[in-house]
Structure formats: structure tokens, C-alpha cells
Amino acid sequence: MENIGFFRIEKGSPKVNTNIAGFAEDIGEAIQIAFPLETEDAMLHWGERKVPISYKYDLSVILEDVVGMLEWCKRSSSTSLDVDFGSDTFAAEWHLERQRDSLSITVLWRSVSGDHEEELNQYGPALIQCSRFVNEWNAVLRVALSGVEGLALRIRDRSLLERVRKLMRDEE
């Protein structure tokens, strides 16, 4: 396996629905409401491929795992973490190994939009500083949070929303 040597996410410029009011059970549902089906995705660069992350259907499903992963990067003294992303079009098992501020990410891709799992699985670990890894994901979370906050939605379960906001505040 070739070491891909880098990790990057383009946050994109997705359209956001407007003039929507009502209720959402949690921030995941609010993200699904905020972003239309046909809009720009975030793009995760993995090897020679770009892996789309749909705001509407991927991020809304994997958000809690992403937030937990970023919290681990920022606060944990633990040296490894396994994350299982379960969206239909962004399904993967990530194994993160940490040594001080260096992070190695090994991924087993199970399902991605475009069906490029076999090619993606040919690449070895991505290497990145923990702080940069957090910043890459935080850019995506900022877009999602902005989309949600631009709507007049009442979110019943605000626990994950508050964790996202805390990540944003900690970055400032």
C-alpha cells in the first residue's frame, strides 16, 4: 500500500434552503432540512480520488462520529481510536493512531458515492498533524452550522449542536 501522505477536505459552497421554520429532532435532522439534495458536496481528498461528503445525507448521519473524533484529537491522551462511519454513501472504518500531534489515519472504505472503494483501499495511511486534521473537519462543520443557524428551526435535542458549537469556540 502506498502512503498517501496527506489529508485534505474541500468544504465546498453548498446552497442552503431559506425561509424554513419548524422543528427538528436534532442537528442531524436540521442539516438534512438546511441543505437541498442538489447542492455542492464537501470533498475529502484520499490518494488520487476525491470522496464526496454530502451535507444533506452523509454529514447529517456521520456528524456525531466526526464530532467525537475531533474531541478525541483535541483532548485525549489515548493513542488510538476506531471510528465506523455508517452513511450509505460514506461508509468506512477509520483507525486513527496518534503520537503527540501527529496522526496516522488508516481506512477501510466500504461504500462511497461513485463506487471507488477498491481503488481507495489501495492507499495506505494518511499522515497529518492533529491540529490540521481538526481544522479541515471544522471548516465543514462551520458550513453545516451556518446553514442550520440560518433557519428558523427549533432543535429539540441540542446536545450534539452544543458539542459542535464548543468545537467552533475552541478553535477561535
Residue pLDDT, tens place only, 75-118: 877 799 999 999 999 999 999 999 888 899 999 999 999 999 99
pLDDT at residue number 170: 85
The closest alpha carbon to 52, from 89, 85, 15, 95, belongs to 89
**CA 168/CA 115 separation, integer angstroms:** 33
pLDDT at residue number 23: 96
pLDDT at residue number 100: 84
The C-alpha angle with vertex 154 and arms to 151 and 158, in degrees rounded to 5, equals 110
**CA 134/CA 72 separation, integer angstroms:** 10
**CA 57/CA 67 separation, integer angstroms:** 16
| Cβ-contact 161, 29 below 8 angstroms | no
Q: CB neighbours of 13 closer than 8 A, spacing ≥ 6? A: 40
pLDDT at residue number 77: 73
Tell me the three cell numbers of residue 67.
464530532
pLDDT at residue number 1: 47
CA 17 from centre of chain: 20
Average pLDDT for runs of 10 along the chain of length 172? 68 94 96 96 92 97 97 86 97 94 93 94 90 95 96 96 94 70
Pure H helices in the chain: 27-34, 60-75, 117-120, 130-149, 159-171
pLDDT at residue number 3: 52
Tell me the three cell numbers of residue 162.
452544543
Backbone angles phi, psi at 72, to 5 degrees: -60, -45
**CA 4/CA 109 separation, integer angstroms:** 15
